[in-house]
């Protein structure tokens, strides 16, 4: 009789690593200083923007997501990747350039990684994997004939 060890346990760590790669993000409002060009931003449009209906966005656009191309004291240019509408439907865009005057913008946010939340998720998943492995005893020697 030969004893063989199974190596299922390392596969669980792949699940933990995948969850950690996703991480926990939050939206941070951008205040006085504009983020650097290339930063992914979310722009919430002011009601005046919907009233004046920017032709390329339509009258029911409420939130734009995309990459900041440039910002001046008067406007912001974005390569738009997604447009959220008032009716809760959205549209994927392919980097179309949209320039918005500042009076059309209610809020600008950027996505930030939350180190404490991500750490808690990783530690919690790792503890769960260790507990599951001990409960299931996945690395116990198995007899083969």
Question: What is the model's pTM?
Answer: 0.62
Q: How many CB atoms lie within 10 A of CB 64?
A: 24
3-state SS assignment for residue 86:
coil
Q: Which structural domain range is residue 145 located in?
A: 1-24+114-145
pLDDT given at position 15: 64
38 and 99 co-located in one domain: yes
Per-residue model confidence (pLDDT) at position 64: 92
Query: Are residues 93 and 30 both part of a single domain?
Result: yes
User: Do the Cβ atoms of 132 and 15 come closer than 8 Å?
Assistant: no
Same domain, 52 and 32: yes
Written as one string, the DSSP assignment of 22-80 is H--EEEEE--SSPPPTT-EEEEEEPHHHHHHT-TTT-TTEEEEEEEEEEE-SSEEEEEE
31 and 54 in a common domain: yes
Q: For 21-52, what is each residue's pLDDT tens digit?
A: 666 776 677 765 567 888 889 999 988 887 77
Higher pLDDT, 18 or 5: 18
Same structural domain, 54 and 99: yes
Is 39 in the same domain as 54?
A: yes
Statement to judge: residues 36 and 107 lie in one domain? yes
> Do residues 75 and 54 both lie within one domain?
yes
Sign of the C-alpha dihedral, residues 110, 101, 55, 107? positive
Q: pLDDT tens across 47-102, in order? A: 888 777 677 887 788 899 999 999 888 888 999 999 988 887 888 999 999 999 98
Q: How many domains does the chain have?
A: 2
My answer on whether 30 and 16 are in the same domain is no
Whether residue 69 sits in one domain with residue 20: no
* Same domain (yes/no): 7, 48: no
């Amino acid at each position: 009789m030969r004893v063989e060890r199974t190596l299922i346990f390392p596969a669980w760590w792949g699940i933990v690593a995948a969850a950690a790669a996703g991480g926990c993000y939050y939206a941070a409002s951008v205040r006085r200083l504009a983020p650097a060009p290339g930063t992914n931003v979310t722009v919430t449009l002011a009601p005046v923007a919907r009233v004046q209906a920017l032709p390329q966005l339509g009258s029911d656009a409420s939130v734009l997501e995309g990459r900041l191309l440039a910002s001046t004291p008067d406007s912001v240019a974005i390569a738009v990747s997604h447009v959220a509408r008032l009716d809760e439907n959205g549209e994927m865009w392919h980097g179309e350039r949209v320039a918005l005057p500042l009076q059309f913008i209610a809020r600008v946010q950027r996505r930030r990684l939350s180190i404490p939340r991500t750490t808690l998720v990783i530690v919690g998943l790792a503890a769960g994997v260790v507990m599951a492995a001990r409960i299931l005893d996945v690395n116990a020697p198995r007899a083969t004939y």
